[in-house]
Structure formats: structure tokens, C-alpha cells
Amino acid sequence: MVHKGIYLLVSLVVAASQLYGSGMKSDTIPLPGEIRLSNFEKNLDSLVHLWYVRQSVPDERSEMVEDVEDVEVIAEFPDSVYIDRLSRIPSLLELSYNRIVRNYIHVYTKKKKENLEIMLGLSDYYFPIFEDIFDYYDLPVELKYMSVIESALNPRAVSRVGATGLWQFMYGTGRMYGLTINSIVDERRDPIKSTHAAAKFLTDLYHIYQDWTLVIAAYNCGPGNVNKAIRRSGNKRNYWDIYYFLPRETRGYVPAFIAATYVMNYYQEHNLKAKPIEIPLAVDTLMIHDDLHLSQVAEVLNIPVKQLRDMNPQYRRDIIPGKSRDFSLKLPVEYASAFIDLQDTIFAFKDSIYFNQNYKITNPVRSSYVPQPPSGKTKLYYTVQPGDNPGYIASWYHIGLSQLRYWNNIRSLIRVGQKLVVYVPPEKADYYRKINSMTFEEKQESIGKSTARKEEQVLIQEAPDSDYIYYKVKYGDTIWDIAKKYPGVTDTDIMRLNNLGINDHIHPGQQIKIKRKS
């Protein structure tokens, strides 16, 4: 499946693309505040809700808002300065410059300035992880800046199309690259495992294009869209040559990446300061072999459960399903020894609350519901005779078929000899008691129905010079009823001749073929 990436900055991409294609002058470019940001802005805003961010900058929100509104302290430079600075960044990727790139630089350095400073602080934690993994796969380490536009370094980021995590994997692509994704665990949120998956995906894309700029574009919109753009451009393989053949959401992705690379290297020149985020850099990873709830760990070791969630964002319901396979648990290094010493206590702590064992093994229970008899009625019993069906019985007792089924909990076929409960008016009880001793013909005549003997003259058709008789099924007939009308014929004979199975039903008007007996 194709990785669809994340539609970050959708409105910004459209606006920037329109500006670039319309030939507008630089002094007519809208201010950053006029450009609508979508997922990137949302992910930046959600960073402040992470536990370790709140612990690090709990009382500085008002000051940061004042700073961002003071536009005069935000430095802005001519194009020549941006071009020169980009040329000084050591990179295997081509860092081109144009109006679209400048637009993104202005967005990063002016819009959401306070939250961007938080993201700069988070980069001290995440970028070393990314660099180490990319170096292992022999990838350009500057690809780490893709995470800025993908998720704003928010491991819980979710796009409007469902892409999730730091690297914004769609479900299918995440599974294809070995990430576990289910109702309890989503390893797209795991910083280490998702980065390994991203590195593998980027490696595969590079084997296709041999060009890192095209790789970045394909990461966002999928190789299918990039291949289509290459064909439509006359097989050109330069990003800017295929720019207008790419989906509109993707056209700004590479410029956004270039601008993010610039800002992460030159943020100080724009009077931006990284907010120090106190994520525990010294962590220990323990392998869990049994089901465990994060609240069990938090309460026994006295760790804030929100801190454990931020350190282990892949567990969607705070549950580590260790019984299915081994899963990791990250803890601040100072708590690792305590966990090992108290692990029996931790696993047993409130386990009946977090993992109710009563529902592990259970059997279905037969319903104890007993239909309530109607008031003021006399209860009688009818014994089912061969050829009877619920419709006949209901008509003989002048009751509804649904009532008969309800009183006797009838959900399938009735059987010969079965006793059925019926409720009748007390003044007519003696009359209805006689029904049990009547023949089928007498019961039918009691409700004004023609007997089977009279109808046979019409319903039985004999084909001249034929070995077979054709019987037209009437309402209420069963195969057993029909067989009784012909000496020497059994219901099995009829079923075999008419290709009927034991569970097949016949219906009024159906022609039944019967072999004539000599």
C-alpha cells in the first residue's frame, strides 16, 4: 500500500502554491497570520498539553504570547541572506530557495512563535534518536527535519486522514513496515520503532528515485503520484520541473521541509529560543512479559501516570498486553531498580480491577425468561400430531400465530408429540378441549376450511400416459401430509424425486412430482 503521508498545512500549501504560480510581487505576500495552518498548527498547539511540557514551562504562557505579538523583535531578512544561509547548511539534499520557501520561513518564525520554541526544546530529545537510527541505515541525518512538518515532534499527532505518530504513517504502510497497530497498541506513536519504519520506507523510496528531494515528495503523497507527475512532465526528474504536476497538497511539502531545515539551524538569528523541556534523558527500557496497566506502575512507584503515558505513547489504553508477546516499558532510570524489586507487587496491585479474570472463561447461559400467561384465560395443552404446523394450530384455537410462538418459545420447527400451551376464554374451554381428539379433517372443518379430500380433485393433476403425478402444494401442507395421500409413497420418496433436502421448505403453489405406484 502507498504511504499517503500527512496533509499538513493544507491551506498554507494551497495559498503558497497560488502565490508562486500567480507571479505576485514579494510585497504583496500575505502576512503569516493570514495563512491558514491545519495539522501543523494543531500539532504545535497540542504540544503544550504533554505532561513533560507542562512540567517544564508551567507559568510562562502569558509571557510567550506577549513576545509573539511583538512583531518588531522578530527579525526578517532579505532573500540574499536566506540564500546564503541555506548554502552553508551541510546537506545531501538540495536546499533551493524561492518565494514559497520564504513564506514557510515567515510562518515558522512569526506564527506560533511560542509553541515553536517548545518544539525546539523537544528537538534536543528527539533529534539524537532520529540521527542515530538514520545513521544506522546510512541515510542523510538532515531527513530528521521531516518530522517537524509531519508532526511538529508530537508523538500523538493524528492527521485528518488518520496518519499517526511522529512520522505520520497510515495504517497500511505502518503494518507493511512491521509496526503493531491494534486497539491497544499503536507503534506508530513509538518514537524508536516508528523511526526505524520511516528509515526503511525512505530507503525503499531512494532505491526508486535516487534523488532525495523526490523521496521527500513521495513520502508525502506516495510514489504513485510522483511517478504520474514524472510521466506528465515528459519524464523530467527534477522536483521543480514536476512541481505543478503533483497534487496541490504536496507541492508545498518540499518547500516546507527546506524552511524547517533553515529554521532549526538559524532560529537564534530570528530571536527564537529553545524552551528547555525536562524529558528524562536517562531512561531504562524493561521488557514486560505479562499484562500490565500503567496505573499499576504509577501507583506503586509513585510516578505520575501522565508522565508514563508521555514516555510510552504507543499504549492507547494504558495497557501493555504482555501476554500476547513481549512489549517494552520506558521508565526514568531512577525507577528501574524499584520496578524490578517490586514487580510482583506491581503486577498484583488491583489486578482484579484492571484485568477482571471473571470474564476470561465463561459459558452461555440458557434464558430463564418465562412468558407471562394472559390474565382471565384458561390454560390448555395441545399435543402435536403428524402434519401439524403452528399456523394450523393457531387457527384451530382462534389465536394469533405470534401468541402461540410467544407462549411456547417456538423459534424453529415443532415436533410430533410436543405439548403446546394455549390460552382460551374460560367459557369456551370445553369446546377447545375437544380439538385434541379430532382428526385433521374435523379440525379444518371446525374453522370452515375445505377438507383435503375435496381439494385433491383440483390440486392433484394427472398427466395422461405418464408415470408421474403432479401435486400443487396448498397452504399448510407438509411433505409428510402429501405422502399420506398416496399409498405406498413415503416422504423420503418425494424429497429424493424433487431434490429436496431435510431443511428445505415447500410453499403454496409449488408443483411436487410424485411417482405413480402400480
State yes or no: pLDDT of 483 exceeds 60.
yes
* Domain end call among 394, 415, 446: 446
Domain of 69 in residue numbering reads as: 10-270
Encode burial over 176-193: b for 16+ CB neighbours within 10 A, e otherwise: bbebbbeebbbbbbbbbb
- Predicted TM-score (pTM) of the model is 0.62
Say if 276 falls within a structural domain. no
More confident residue, 326 or 35: 326
Say yes or no to pLDDT of 456 above 60. no
What confidence score (pLDDT) does residue 283 get? 82
- Mean pLDDT, rounded, of the chain: 80
Are 430 and 465 contained in the same domain? no
CA 406 to chain centre: 40
pLDDT confidence tier of residue 22, bands split at 50, 70 and 90: very low
Mean pLDDT of 19-41: 37
Buried b (16+ CB within 10 A) or exposed e, 280-303: beeebebebeebbbbbbbbebbeb
- Cα torsion 217, 221, 226, 228 to 10°: value is -160
Domain boundary (393, 426, 446) is at 446
pLDDT at 452 over 50: no
Cβ(139)–Cβ(202) under 8 Å? Answer: yes
On whether residue 117 sits in a domain, the answer given is: yes
pLDDT at 383 over 70: yes
Give the CATH number for residue 500.
3.10.350.10
**Residue 371 within any structural domain of the chain:** no
The answer to whether residues 459 and 337 belong to one domain is no
Cα separation, 473 vs 359, in Å, equals 51
Q: Is residue 123 part of a domain?
A: yes
- Which of these ranges, 34-43, 281-290, 388-397, 410-419, has the smallest mean pLDDT? 34-43
Per-residue pLDDT band for 417 (boundaries 50, 70, 90) equals: confident
Which pLDDT score, from 0 to 100, does residue 47 have? 64
**Same domain, residue pair 85 and 221:** yes
- In this predicted structure, the answer to whether residue 485 has a pLDDT above a threshold of 80 is yes
Contacts of 238 (CB under 8 A, 6+ apart): none
406 pLDDT exceeds 70?
yes
Mean pLDDT of all residues in 163-167: 93
User: 513: which strand partners?
Assistant: 470
